[in-house]
Amino acid sequence: MDAKTLHRKLMAGYQGWFNTPCDGCGMGWRHYAKRRAEELTPETCKIDVWPDTSEFDDDELCKTGIRYADGTPARLPSSCNRKTVLRHFGWMRAYGLDGVFVQRFHPYCAERERFAHTLKVLDYCREGARLHERCYAMMYDLSGMRGEDASPVIDDWKRLLDDTALVEDKMYLHHHGRPVVTVWGLGFNDRPHFTWRDCMPLVEFLKDWGATLMLGLPTGWREQPQEHLPDPDPSKRPVVRCWDCFEDPAMLDAIQIADILLPWSVARAETLEGAERMARDFWIPDIQWCAERGIEYMPVVYPGFSWHNQRPGAVRDRVPRRRGAMLWKLYYEAVRAGATMIYQAMFDEMDEGTAIFKVDPNPPGPEGLFIDLEGVASDHYLRLVGEAGRMLRGEIPLQAPCPLLG
């Protein structure tokens, strides 16, 4: 594994934020259960996919109040368990995923309890990356930022450099000779607590420090808020939506400080036809815009999307996976559009139903609690991502049909 370049790399996001009462962190069922829930039951469950725990040891698992059909209590792992994180990185190597962007959230940089927890997760990721020769890089997610102060993130980066020698790791991802750092969350219009301008001191600090800087933006960053309808009939629901960006043309000049742009596209396309429009209306012109300015581009792909259990009234399985056809279509369109690097959303995100790691095809709980995986094997999406990586690297031809679906 060459951690010196992002070229032809397929990288996933790694949340690492799922806790259990058994992991010693004192956070209870964080991200597994709804806020302030002391027990994990069908009523308090927040996730929309259930992980496959058949390979896990007893010391990785914590009993829940959800049961399988035979009455057996279902158990879940924690992201703050060394064995579990190392297992995840072993899966990455076994199936051909190049590595991950380890998510680090703004609030955790300032809160002592959460900061200690995230340091443990990061240490386990670093060990997993070295052990299994996978690359990794830091992604700062500002979506939880309140007010205009990004200084906790700046302080966090300085601490990591001083205390852990983070970027000196052999497997820390570099690109064009510099460590890769991502700042995610600039310009989204559903985050009224801060604007892209509030993020610029952090962005400028990282650039001046010497990072290869990637910025996570809304899908509609280039055109700003316009609606793309799939049909002239306005009564029909849009398939591709891009009204996710603040309208401020000055942002187009400001973001040119970036080396790489990462527009967030999860759930913007809900059908296979929508994926085609995503490439035509966004990825292709985005890549051209970036090329004209010497900026690289990393499109985001996803297997499906669902946050029914965490959002009351939300549609279950809003973007159906179609047994992998949706994800493969997005890969195909991204490579055909000229992408040389791709971001996979996400390795372990169960809240939004985008997890590609091993998931249970026969989950516990009442019928309909989790999305239907349509009979595919638990490692189906890891195998599909491995094939997509081969296509990105040119090891197999560009092919529209999903190779795992016949």
Q: What is the pLDDT of residues 359-404, one digit of tens each?
A: 999 999 999 999 989 999 999 999 999 999 999 999 999 999 999 9
Show the tokens assigned to 160: 């990591």
**Looking at the predicted structure, is the pLDDT value of residue 342 above 50?**
yes
Q: Can you tell me the distance from the alpha carbon of 11 to that of 389, in angstroms, rounded to the nearest whole number? A: 9
Confirm whether 401 is domain-assigned: no
Q: Which of 85-99, 144-158, 271-285, 369-383 has the lowest mean pLDDT?
A: 144-158
Residue 105: count other Cβ atoms within 10 Å of its Cβ: 21
Confirm whether 400 is domain-assigned: no
CATH of the domain at 68: 3.20.20.80
**Looking at the predicted structure, is the pLDDT value of residue 269 above 60?**
yes
Q: Which residue has the tokens 């997610």?
A: 141
Would you place residue 205 in the very low, low, confident or very high pLDDT band (cuts 50, 70, 90)?
very high
Residue 160: count other Cβ atoms within 10 Å of its Cβ: 17
**Looking at the predicted structure, is the pLDDT value of residue 236 above 80?**
no
Confirm whether 275 is domain-assigned: yes
pLDDT of residue 225: 60
Of the candidates 209, 290, 223, the residue with the CA atom closest to the CA atom of residue 251:
223
Would you place residue 238 in the very low, low, confident or very high pLDDT band (cuts 50, 70, 90)?
very low
Please give the tally of structural domains in the chain: 1
Of the candidates 187, 89, 114, 102, the residue with the CA atom closest to the CA atom of residue 139:
102
Of the candidates 5, 13, 9, the residue with the CA atom closest to the CA atom of residue 265:
13
pLDDT of residue 229: 44
Would you place residue 338 in the very low, low, confident or very high pLDDT band (cuts 50, 70, 90)?
very high
Torsional class of 316: left (φ above 0), alpha (ψ -120 to 50), beta (otherwise): beta
Would you place residue 242 in the very low, low, confident or very high pLDDT band (cuts 50, 70, 90)?
low
pLDDT of residue 116: 84
Confirm whether 93 is domain-assigned: yes
Confirm whether 403 is domain-assigned: no
Residue 327 sits in which domain range? 10-392
**Looking at the predicted structure, is the pLDDT value of residue 318 above 50?**
yes
Q: Write the pLDDT tens digit of every residue in 168-178.
A: 999 999 999 99
Confirm whether 45 is domain-assigned: yes
Contacts of 200 (CB under 8 A, 6+ apart): 254
Q: Write the pLDDT tens digit of every residue in 274-314.
A: 999 999 999 999 999 999 999 999 999 999 999 999 998 89
